[in-house]
Amino acid sequence: MKLAYYPGCSLEGTAKEYNLSTKAVCKALGIELIELPDWNCCGATSAHATNHLLSIVLPTRNLIKANELGLDLAIPCSACFNRMKTSDYYIKRDKKIKEEVEKLLGRKYTANSKINHLLGIFAEDKINAIIASKVVKPLQGLKVAPYYGCLLVKPPKIVEFENAENPQSLDNLIITLGGEAVSDFAYKTECCGASLTLTREEIVLGLVNKILKDAQLRGADCLVTICPFCHFNLDAKQKDVERKFKANYNLPVFYFTQLIGLALGISPKELGIDKHFVNPLELLKSLELA
């Protein structure tokens, strides 16, 4: 399998370990990732708040590059995925926007690349079976709260992900890896506050507190995310949340690619597991997973 890979800005910075683990896991599974040449920022949270056209032009430039490679896209970040799907949605439905965007970019959008979130690819039956066959270190005893966040699943008519309110692909993946999915985790698709972490931190802390509280209540040892935003808020902000709400969570937060990597026997270091704020090594060691 060969895919066009759009890492997005976060994976070069705060979510470096997401990039590392994605590449390591894909290599192990025989998935070839061709990084888009000369890709640009998708605009994420800021572009669509300032200029509608700009918020479509930025992702479309990347989509066109994937079109030109003739490959389907794999996008690890939910915000990037959401923006790409949104641009595709508007361009397909609005002739005027399509013309404007193509004029600005000087190239045609052919829409021949399927836009996938990385999770969508790993959730495919075929890939899931490959993963299952390559698991050497099942995540036995690890109780994982599957946290999908909101940008991957909403709005459903645009992102077209399996189920907006009660998705299952991450749950199933955890089970494939031999772990235990906390299936009644109520906050699996609730918003973490995303980029408000920079401008209105108190909102993010409140939202993250609710998410962590519910995960703890349901008996989770850790959470798994699929988005750099979510990861940053749940992991890097966890100490602030504990302080503000006088709580004690100590819940490690993994990228789903890191969990796959662990189960496939890739070393924690290679997966960037040492880069988290909430140290997961103690938990992993107690279960003999690291």
Partner 1 sequence: MPRVGVFICHCGTNIEGVVDVEKALDEMKNYPSVSYATDYKYMCSEPGQNKVKDAIGKNRLARVVVACCSPRMHENTFRRCIEEADLNPYLIEIANIREHCSWVHPDNKEEATKKAIELIKASVAKVIKNEPLFPRYVPLTKRVLIIGGGIAGIQSALDTASAGYETILLEREPSIGGRMAQLDKTFPTLDCSACILTPKMVDIAQNKNIKLLTYSELEEVSGFIGNFNVKIRKKARYVNEEKCTGCGVCYTKCPKKLASEFDLGIGIRKAIYVPFPQAVPNIPVIDKENCIYFIKGKCKVCEKFCPANAIDFEQEDVLIEEKVGAIIVATGFDTFDPTVFQEYGYGRYKDVITSLQFERLINASGPTGGEVKRPSDGKHPKRVAFIQCVGSRDDTVGRPYCSKVCCMYTAKHTILLKEHEPDSKSYVFYIDIRAPGKGYEEFVRRAQEEYGATYIRGKVAKIYERGGKLVLKAEDTLIGKQVEIEVDLVVLAVGIEPKKDAKDLARKLNISYDTYGFYNEAHPKLRPVETLTDGIYLAGVCQGVKDIPDAVAQGSAAAAKVCGLFSSDELITDPLTSVVDKDLCVGCCACISACPFNAIEEEVLEERTGERIVAKVNETLCKGCGVCVATCPSKAVSLKGWTDEQVLREVEILVGSRK
CA dist 30 to 2, 122, 255, Å?
A: 9, 12, 20
Residue with Cβ nearer partner 1 (168 or 195):
168
To the nearest whole angstrom, how small is the minimum distance from the Cβ of residue 146 to partner 1?
Answer: 14
Residue with Cβ nearer partner 1 (100 or 190):
190
To the nearest whole angstrom, how small is the minimum distance from the Cβ of residue 215 to partner 1?
Answer: 12
Q: Cα angle at 20 between 15 and 25, to 5 degrees?
A: 125
To the nearest whole angstrom, how small is the minimum distance from the Cβ of residue 165 to partner 1?
Answer: 3
Residue with Cβ nearer partner 1 (53 or 217):
217
To the nearest whole angstrom, how small is the minimum distance from the Cβ of residue 45 to partner 1?
Answer: 21
Structure tokens at 26: 């894909």
Pair 264, 135: CB distance under 8 Å: yes
In 10 A of CB 179, how many CB atoms?
25
Binding site for partner 1 (CB under 8 A): 163-166, 184, 186, 190, 214, 217
In 10 A of CB 197, how many CB atoms?
20
Pair 240, 278: CB distance under 8 Å: no
Residue with Cβ nearer partner 1 (141 or 155):
155
